[in-house]
Amino acid sequence: MKKKLTTINLTRLILLLTLSFTFSCSEDVDGIENSKEQNTFDLSELPSPEEIPEKDNDLQARVQGKQTTQPCDNPEGYKEYTADEVLGAGVTDVNGVRPILDDRTCAYNYSQTNVANVTYGRYRLRAGTNAFDNKQPRIERASVAANSNAPGTKVTFNGTVRVWRVGDATNGGSLAQNNSGTYICQAKGKDTRTSGQSNNSDPALALLLVKPVSGTGSNQTRFRFYVEHMQNGAGALRNSTARYIDNLNFDFNRGEPIQVTMVNEFAGSCNNLVHRVIITLRGKDVNGNPRNLTRTYNIPEPTRGTQAKIRFGAYRCWGGEADIRWASGVSMNSVVGGSSCSNNSSNNGGSNWDPSRNFAPTSFNRRSSSYWYEAAYPAASVMDGNYNSYWASANFNTTTQHWMIADHNRFYTLKRAKVVFNARVMRDFDILYYNNGWKVAKSVRGNYSNTVMIEGINAYGHAFGIQSIRGAEGYVEVKELELYDY
C-alpha cells in the first residue's frame, strides 16, 4: 500500500457530512461512468453500531461485549479477553493461535506454568462457577472457522497436553456413563438449521473427553481417554442430542505429555459428501508403553453442514476442579475447499453460494465507500465478481467505521450474504440495507475467517453494504460482497 488519495478522501468525507445526494454522484472518482439516479438517500444516516466496550489497545478481545455483574475474576467481568490482560503486556501468549479466550469460569483466569523446561498454557476450572450462562464452565480457544462444506474444507489442530486433574462425578453409574471428566478438545460446525429450529444449529460433533480412573479431587493419578460423538448410521440426525461414548482404552498417568491431533473435514464429492472428525493420540500409557491411536467419526447429514471449526482448552467440570495444560507450539490451520455443496435449505434447486446468482454486480455504477488507499483498490472492487481485486479502506489509526455501500436501482429481499476478505479481515461488522433509512440486516462479531457465509437474513431494500466496527488492523481489505435473494 502506498500514499492515500488524500484529496479524494477529503471530498468524500465532506459529502458524507452534507445533505442527501444521489448515490451515483460519488462514484466518478473510481473511473466509472455516472448514471441517472432513481433512488436517493443520505449517507449521514448510516446506522451507529452498538458500542463495543474497549478501554485501550490491550482489550481487543471484547468483541461480543458479554459481561457479568456477578463476582468474577475475569478482567472487568468480561467473558472474553486476551492473555495480555491477565499476564501483562510483555508476556508471550504461548497458545496464541487465536488471541481470544472464552472464559466462563469465575474461579480462575488463563495462566502459564513451566513443566520440564516447556511453557504451558494452563486452563483451570471449578464446578459451579459459570456466571455467564447455564452451561458447564470452560476456558477455551477457537480456530478460525472454515465456512464451507466443499470437499477439501478442513480445520486441523495439533497440540501437546498434560492432564493434572479433571472434573469429578456428581452422579452414579459406570465410569463411561457418569458425568465425571473434562473435555479438552472438540470439533464443532454450524449447519443449515437456525437457532429457532429443533435443537442446536452449532452442535459439538465430537469431543475428546478425559475421565479419572484412579483417585478423586486433587489425588487423581490416572486418566482414560473417551470420545463423545454424534450418532451416525441409518436415520441419524445432525441435530440429535443423542451421543455415543467411545472408550479409547488409552489409560495414562498424571502429567504425561500426550500429542493430540484433531481434523474436522469435509471430504469425498458433492454427490457423495462425507463430514468426519479424525482424532489421533500419541504418548505413553500407564505402563510406559508407547501408544499411537487413531479414530474416525463420520457425522450424519453431511450436506447440512456449513462450517468446520475446533475448540481446545478445558470444558466441563460437574464436580471439583480441572487443571489442563497445553504446551507452547499449538497449531490450528483452516482450509476452505472449492465451491460449497448444496444443502437441504431452500435454494431454488441450486447451490446457496452460486456466484452467478449473486445480485451484487447489478450496482456496477452506483457504489461508494468511506475511504480507500489508492485507485488500485476502489470500492467498486467489492462487487465486481473478481476475487483477484479488492477494496482497501484507508488507515486513519482506527479500526472502526469503514463502510462500503451500493445502490442496486431496484428492490431485493436479501436472504444471505457472503463476504470474502483479503489479508485484513473485519473482526466485527454489519451487513446493511436501505429502506426509508439505513438498517442493520445482520451483525457478525468475533470473525477471524477470510470467508464468511451469513444466512438467516430477511432484509428488503434497494441499497446494501457492509460496515466495519473492528478490524485486525487500522484498515480492512474486502475482495467480494456477494448478495443472494433466495
Overall residue count recorded for the chain in this entry? 486
Position 92 scores a pLDDT of: 76
Position 470 scores a pLDDT of: 63
Q: Is the pLDDT of residue 98 over 90?
A: no
Segment 304-310 mean pLDDT? 90
- State phi, psi for 17 to the nearest 5 degrees: -90, -5
Q: Is the pLDDT of residue 308 over 90?
A: yes
Q: At 157, is the pLDDT very low, low, confident or very high (cuts 50, 70, 90)?
A: very high
d(CA 445, CA 427): 6
> In the chain, where are the structural domains located?
6-45+346-484, 75-335
Other CB atoms within a 10 A radius of the CB of residue 65 amount to 15
Q: Which stretch of 10-19, 68-77, 458-467 has the lowest confidence by average pLDDT?
A: 10-19
On whether the CB atoms of residues 224 and 175 are closer than 8 A, the answer is yes
On whether the CB atoms of residues 261 and 280 are closer than 8 A, the answer is yes
Position 233 scores a pLDDT of: 63
Q: Which residues pair with 122 in a beta bridge?
A: 111, 325
Q: Which CATH fold topology does 75-335 show?
A: Jelly Rolls (2.60.120)
Position 2 scores a pLDDT of: 34
pTM comes to: 0.64
Segment 23-30 mean pLDDT? 31
In eight-state DSSP terms, residue 346 is -
Q: Between 343 and 403, whose confidence is greater?
A: 403
pLDDT in tens, 130-144: 999 889 999 999 988
Closest CA to 315 of 98, 155, 123: 123
Cα separation values, 435 from 42, 178, 349, 383, 438, Å: 12, 54, 29, 20, 7
Position 346 scores a pLDDT of: 35
Segment 419-423 mean pLDDT? 86
| Class of the domain covering 6-45+346-484 | mainly beta
Other CB atoms within a 10 A radius of the CB of residue 278 amount to 18
Other CB atoms within a 10 A radius of the CB of residue 8 amount to 16
Q: Between 456 and 432, whose confidence is greater?
A: 432
d(CA 268, CA 252): 35
Q: At 445, is the pLDDT very low, low, confident or very high (cuts 50, 70, 90)?
A: confident
For the chain, the average pLDDT equals 79
On whether the CB atoms of residues 457 and 392 are closer than 8 A, the answer is no
Buried residues in 332-367 as b, exposed as e (16+ CB within 10 A)? bebebbeebbbbebebeeebbbbeebbbbbbbbbbb
Segment 372-395 mean pLDDT? 75
Q: At 216, is the pLDDT very low, low, confident or very high (cuts 50, 70, 90)?
A: very high
Cα separation values, 38 from 17, 18, 41, 407, 438, Å: 21, 20, 10, 10, 17
Position 5 scores a pLDDT of: 34
C-alpha cell at 175: 465410569
Position 76 scores a pLDDT of: 84
Q: At 309, is the pLDDT very low, low, confident or very high (cuts 50, 70, 90)?
A: very high
> Which range in 61-70, 105-114, 428-437 is most confidently predicted, on average pLDDT?
105-114
pLDDT in tens, 167-187: 999 998 899 889 999 999 999
Closest CA to 453 of 413, 480, 423, 424: 480
Classified as helix, coil or strand, 84 is helix
In eight-state DSSP terms, residue 50 is P
Q: At 316, is the pLDDT very low, low, confident or very high (cuts 50, 70, 90)?
A: very high
Who contacts 137 (Cβ-Cβ below 8 Å, separation ≥6)? 104, 105, 107, 125, 126, 127, 128, 129, 130, 315, 316, 317
HSE of 91, CA atoms in CB hemisphere, 13 A: 20
Other CB atoms within a 10 A radius of the CB of residue 131 amount to 18
Segment 364-391 mean pLDDT? 71
Give, for 86, the enclosing helix (H) or strand (E). helix 83-87
Q: Which stretch of 22-31, 115-124, 258-267 has the lowest confidence by average pLDDT?
A: 22-31
Closest CA to 459 of 395, 425, 408, 403: 408
Position 295 scores a pLDDT of: 97
d(CA 335, CA 265): 9
C-alpha cell at 353: 453460494
Position 140 scores a pLDDT of: 95
Who contacts 14 (Cβ-Cβ below 8 Å, separation ≥6)? none
Segment 235-244 mean pLDDT? 71
Q: Is the pLDDT of residue 238 over 80?
A: no
Burial class of 372 by CB neighbour count within 10 A (0 to 12, 13 to 18, 19+): buried
Q: Between 227 and 468, whose confidence is greater?
A: 227
Segment 444-469 mean pLDDT? 84
Q: Between 137 and 373, whose confidence is greater?
A: 137
